[in-house]
Amino acid sequence: MTDIEYIIDFHLGGKRQGPGSDKETLKALSFIDIINNKDLRVADIGSGTGAQTISIANNIDGKVLAVDLFPQFLDKVNENANKLGLQDKVLTMEASMDKLPFITNEFDIIWSEGAIYNIGFENGLRQWKPFIKEGGYVAVTEISWLSNNRPSEVHEFWTNAYPEIDTISNKTKVIEENGYSPVAHFILPNNCWLDNYYNPMEERFSSFLKKHANSKAAKAIIDGEQKEIELYKKYGTYYGYVFYIAKRI
């Protein structure tokens, strides 16, 4: 198996592939004034197994297209949609988020939870804008500094892992500079990280290592995830995921 295959296999077992919750997804939806429009079209970019895809589909009169690079995740999206009777509202597409085969003004909303960092916050906002109808929305979660002052350990870790990490005010400035009007932002609470993401992840560590016979590659993934968990428990007041909602202008 390749490294990416190990990573997919590990995260395939999780309801979420990043911090979040149904409550926070619905809170973000509440800031969007077109949400009650008929036949709304939403693209969920980097959907993973689609926890937020399902939440959106349950709360709009329209369709949600879950887009992910990995078909294994999309199979889970379809499986969950079928179980809930949402197969007519949830569609899937295998595609890279930086090479989307969309047409101009195709969607009312582009959504992305815990995924835009893969191509960079500003790059994602710029690339996705043409696909959003004028007056439509973008709603994304992005890891951000919650303080201008932070310990060197956490600063160095996240600056190396994601050089584009920045403060909320600077992220908002990027939104404005790329043709959007900021509508709202809010910080994901602690339970989105621990209860919904990290704790369930830790519960899968042993079975994952056993499945892969404690291979070096499997151990490397677990070690990396464990380091990130410990860092958050120690320094989680200094950074977090922030939900940014903005209107295309």
pLDDT, position 38: 87
pLDDT, position 237: 97
**CA–CA separation, 14 and 5 (whole Å):** 15
CATH number for the region 17-148+162-188+239-248 comes to 3.40.50.150
Let me know: does 227 contact 153? Beta carbons within 8 Å.
Answer: no
pLDDT, position 226: 97
Let me know: does 198 contact 229? Beta carbons within 8 Å.
Answer: yes
Let me know: does 94 contact 71? Beta carbons within 8 Å.
Answer: yes
pLDDT below 70 — which residues of the chain?
Answer: none
pLDDT, position 141: 98
The DSSP bridge partners found for residue 109 are 42, 137
Q: Which residues contact 176 (CB under 8 A, 6 or more apart)?
A: 182
Q: By C-alpha distance, which of 63, 67, 110 is closest to 88?
A: 63
Outline where DSSP puts E strands in the chain.
Answer: 40-45, 62-68, 90-94, 107-112, 132-145, 166-167, 180-187, 239-248
